[in-house]
Structure 1
Amino acid sequence: MTVRNRVLILLSAVLALTAVAVASVLHASARADRRNQARPGGPRVTSGTVTLTAPGRMVFRNLAWGPHRDELAAVPASDPSGPRTASGVKCLRFHAASGTGVCLQAVHGAMSDTYRALILDAHLREKGRYAVPGIPSRARVSPTGHFAAWTAFVGGDSYAGTDFSTRAAIVDVRTGRLTPSLEAYRIVKDGRTYRAADANFWGVTFARDDRTFYATLATKGRTYLVRGDLRRRTVTTLHTNVECPSLSPDGTRIAFKKRVPGLPADAPWRLYVLDLRTLRETALAESRSVDDQAVWRDSRTLVYALAGDYGADLYEVPADGTGAARRIGTAAVSPAYTG
């Protein structure tokens, strides 16, 4: 092959790669334009001021197509399907309590995305920033607003399969002290210290005492509800087949998703509530598979997301196993109640 032919082949390859790159940029731009176009029949969303201390509000990630998609938005808790006020702050996952918020964000790079956790004050101003080592999955703030936690996938991308790894981190919002992974805590299983290379944690939920928390531990193909102690840096197993726990406002019950035998591998969960005193489980009146960490709207009602036309919709169901599930809002995920 002559030098001239080699140069022509190299030039052709460069031109082809350039064309692919330009097409990719144009496709991404067109996709972004479509995302920014509001769709008929969707929720009405306008810019405004959102705070985390306004009484009687629900704040969530808005998924309605248009210029405010992915922004934190607020509605009256009594009218969750009403007009939305968008904040300008974008999050993938979000939670808030007592004027503190945690916002998990994607940082889009030229070659790949990175992720971070922002600690927000009551006016959604940044108080702290932490690197997140993978795709954000869960977020929680303690009832006092003094602690925040998040979970990220660092291998695999779904809880439904078996090939995944997670990192659950906790930060003291007051001091900025970060525990990057609960794997640093001592595990107590069946009354003994337990060590396993495959231990994974996710779905942290906090008690009001600024010491106790609950989470999911997975090891050897099983999941466990664990009770954690922030001072002793320990976690103790309490109950099996518990994922994404959510502690009730009075601290007596855990809402969770449970794998039910016989269901499809990609939709294996049902919602339950566990009485922490008796360890009695109550199945809730939601017959669909819920892959979410439910939020307690109050002591009687749970709110969670299911797949919808815009990505996800919000539903509620009684926490005592009675009644029926009902949709309360479209194009929304990661709700938190303020005030």
Structure 2
Amino acid sequence: MAHDDSTTRPLRVLGIFAHPDDETICAGGTLAKYASDGADVRVVSFTKGGGGQIRDASTATRATLTAVREKELAAAGAELGLAETQCLDFVDGDLGAVAASVLADIASALLDEFAPDVVITFGPDGFSGHSDHIAVGAAVTTACTEHESAVRLFHCYLPRSRMLLGYRLAEWVVELATRFKGSDDFVRALWVFSRETSALGYAGDLVNVEWFPSGSYLVEQGEAATSMYFLLSGKVEVRREGDDGQVRVVDHSGPGEFIGEVSIATGRPRNAHVVAVDDVTSLTFVAAESVPSDGRARPVETRALPSGDRVDARVDTCIDVSLFVGHKIRATAAHRSQYPIDPGMFPDAILREMFGVEYFVRVLPERALDTSLTDDRAREDSVTCRR
């Protein structure tokens, strides 16, 4: 995302999204990076997010959610270093029913008001397939294409990662000097964090909430390790079966503790049975080779990253935001009604691996045809695409 350094005013970056929190999830690291470099960075949300789930009942009610989420956007903007955030008054969930020309006119008016050099919004897949995202992305793209000023337009893109969050958590827990037991806040945060990152493709796990009746096995000694469990409720016994056939209880675990992390981290077979003493619910991380589609449009033509992840062949910009992952996580936590997490709950190494690079498709200006077979022009502010 280069700009002309000869201009006297700072670079202007405008993010136009559908809901409060879209700015952070889609491009938070990039927005923070450019704000830190002195750019004038602003975000507009077409709605106030009144249709979102309330994941922390202490933060809002259905009647207060729009006001709460508008304030959360301002707080997230402060964490990212944004100059301004703004929410429009469209109804959350209804943007797909609004005439495309109306949305495009609103987007065009925002371009007139702010005169940005760079605009960031959703691509045709809406980043997550949400109909509001798709409607806003199409409107902003139309407005930028038809606008009289020269605007650099980027669509956010998220490749589905092959990184398994369950494995990374297992490695982290095994390396701890003391036995891990998460607080009630950690239990809630991990439930939200793991399911959201899996659904969006930041991690390649299948993450499910499972129920095991009293007396049933969660794992059996000797079997291959394909899942890790984080206990949400109920207690389990860890039973080891000796060569003499005797089964002995060697440990107990309860809510806030991981089960099966050693076998996941080491790749060895299970070294004990785990049996539910009470009815048990767990957050289960499945190390699946093939992750079912989440409904997002998938490109026909892709190319591979060094990690083995595949991206849309049109992806041409990847921004190294590893120094700004903390900003992104703190901004995510500022959207507490949606993400009730503590920024310090999760290991930095895992967060950097998941969020350290953000990807974009440059839509405008269209890239010119190369006129040489040998001249590879460097692209400023981009890094070798990795994940």
Higher relative contact order (CA 8 A, sep 6+): 2
- Name the TM-score class by shorter chain: under 0.3
- Higher strand proportion (structure 1 or 2): 1
Structure with the largest fraction of helix: 2
Q: Which has the larger radius of gyration?
A: 2
